[in-house]
Amino acid sequence: MAKREIKVYSDLSGANAVWADKIRKLREEKNVVMLNLIGSPGCGKTMLLEKTVERLSAKLRFAVLEGDIETTRDAERLDKLGVLVSQLVTKGACHLSAKLVHKAFVDLPLDELDMVIVENVGNLVCPAAMDIGETAKIAVLSVAEGEDKPAKYPRLFREAKGIVITKTDLLPYVSFNMRACLNDIKQINGTIPVIKVSAKDGSGMEDWVKFLTSFSEKPR
């Protein structure tokens, strides 16, 4: 596959809501779904996306915006798999702003896309409070983090339209009480879909891709 240049964007200031609304309007005009993946550093967002590329490419046309404080490592990982990806570098900021996302979003070939997946900066707190004009926030939680995280960091789990519990291959080696976790989630956001996946052994990946495609109203 030909080596493409990965686009790199850095942060800008400005009123967040204005930029979020611009993204929302453009999304609706172009009929593009935008999903905002939020979770702790190391919860497995990038690996989940790596393993999603082939399966999701068979269903719809999508691009990825990779949010990080520093480095272009995550975009490089996805670029290798042939998916269209840009890197958003916040240079210290703990979340993606709508202005930075907008800058990258308008540069995408939106007429040729059904979906844009944004991987936010690894942070279970701040990105949950930031509107980037997305269709939905998706919470990502790994079993290595422990079952108490929804109760201790409720805002994300309350605002999300779906929760992915990742790294289920580690369940035999960590103390993660799935029942307690699902119970806490039910208290916070009763009807939310919860998908359990292991990007490593592939279990649950079909459910995850089905969940993603459910957001798109124009499958290819």
Q: Which residues would be at the binding site for its own copies (CB under 8 A)?
A: 40-43, 68-71, 73-74, 92, 94, 121-126, 129, 142, 144-146, 148-149, 151-155, 167, 169-170, 173-174
- Sheet of 62-68, strands arranged across: 7-10, 84-89, 62-68, 115-119, 33-39, 136-142, 162-166, 194-196
Residue closer to its own copies, measured from CB, 150 or 162: 150
The nearer residue to its own copies, 135 or 168, going by C-beta atoms, is 168
Nearest residue (CB) to its own copies, 93 versus 110 = 93
Q: Compute the least distance from the CB of residue 125 to its own copies, in Å.
A: 4
Q: Compute the least distance from the CB of residue 212 to its own copies, in Å.
A: 23
Report the C-alpha gap between 99 and 83 in whole angstroms: 23
Q: In angstroms, what is the minimal distance from the CB of 68 to its own copies?
A: 6
> Of 134, 119, 123, 114, whose CA–CA distance to 57 is shortest?
114
Burial of 18 (0-12, 13-18, 19+ CB in 10 A): exposed
CB of 43 to its own copies, least distance (A): 8
